[in-house]
């Protein structure tokens, strides 16, 4: 009889130990899943493109993955496509391309962009830029300097974009992330940086005419 009680007690102890081990494993999986979830949420986000302001680089209803830690490591660069909050609205996300950096002199004149006197070549523009081709003080005289820690952003579809031409440069603290790559539609999966802006080095813009390069 005593042996039977001992065997029963041993079996109960084994069951409790197995149950405890199972609960511990479940708890570890839940904690790991939570760490992964919050870690991924901190590092990246899914972005739904609404509208055509970045066409033809991005289309309406595209889905992107944005990197939220890139700008903790280095400053935004010209040509980056960024997710931002405009200066007058904290509840709406815009997606635009960085055109001019802090400390650069920007001139927008008749549908062309000049950075420190050099024309900006923009191969991604989908068609002729005919709307809002001038932008206040950035189109007067030799343009204006972008303030410290601020960036001039524009949509690739210049004729259908609300951007820094309307609300001015944006502070770095209003840039929430850099668009990384497209995940939808699948036939356009991948790289969104095939075409990038570049500064022409052969000519400078002064006043109302471009000066010929020195011989």
- Tell me which residues are annotated as active site: 53, 96
Strands (E), 51-149: 63-67, 81-84, 94-100, 105-109, 112-115, 118-121, 144-145
Distance CA 125, CA 133 (A): 13
Distance CA 184, CA 165 (A): 29
* Nearest to 59, CA basis, from 168, 155, 199: 155
Quote the tokens at residue 55: 């066409």
> Can you name the residues that pair with 120 across neighbouring β-strands?
199
């Amino acid at each position: 009889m005593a042996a039977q009680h001992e065997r029963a007690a041993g079996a109960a102890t084994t069951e409790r130990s197995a149950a405890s081990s199972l609960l511990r494993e479940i708890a570890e999986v839940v904690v790991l899943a939570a760490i992964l979830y919050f870690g991924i949420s901190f590092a990246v986000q899914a972005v739904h493109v609404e509208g055509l302001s970045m066409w033809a680089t991005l289309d309406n209803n595209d889905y992107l993955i944005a990197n939220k830690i890139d700008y903790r490591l280095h400053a935004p660069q010209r040509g980056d496509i960024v997710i931002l909050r405009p200066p007058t609205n904290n509840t709406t996300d815009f997606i635009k391309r960085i055109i001019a950096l802090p400390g650069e002199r920007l001139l927008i004149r008749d549908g062309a962009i000049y950075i420190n006197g050099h024309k900006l070549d923009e191969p991604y523009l989908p068609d002729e830029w005919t709307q809002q081709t001038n932008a206040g003080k950035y189109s007067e005289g030799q343009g204006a300097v972008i303030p410290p820690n601020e960036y001039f952003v524009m949509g690739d579809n210049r004729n259908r974009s609300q951007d820094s031409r309307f609300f001015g440069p944006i502070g770095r603290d209003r840039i929430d992330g850099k668009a990384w790559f497209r995940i939808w539609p699948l036939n356009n999966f991948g790289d969104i940086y095939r075409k990038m802006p570049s500064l022409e080095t052969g000519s400078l813009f002064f006043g109302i005419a471009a000066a010929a390069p020195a011989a």
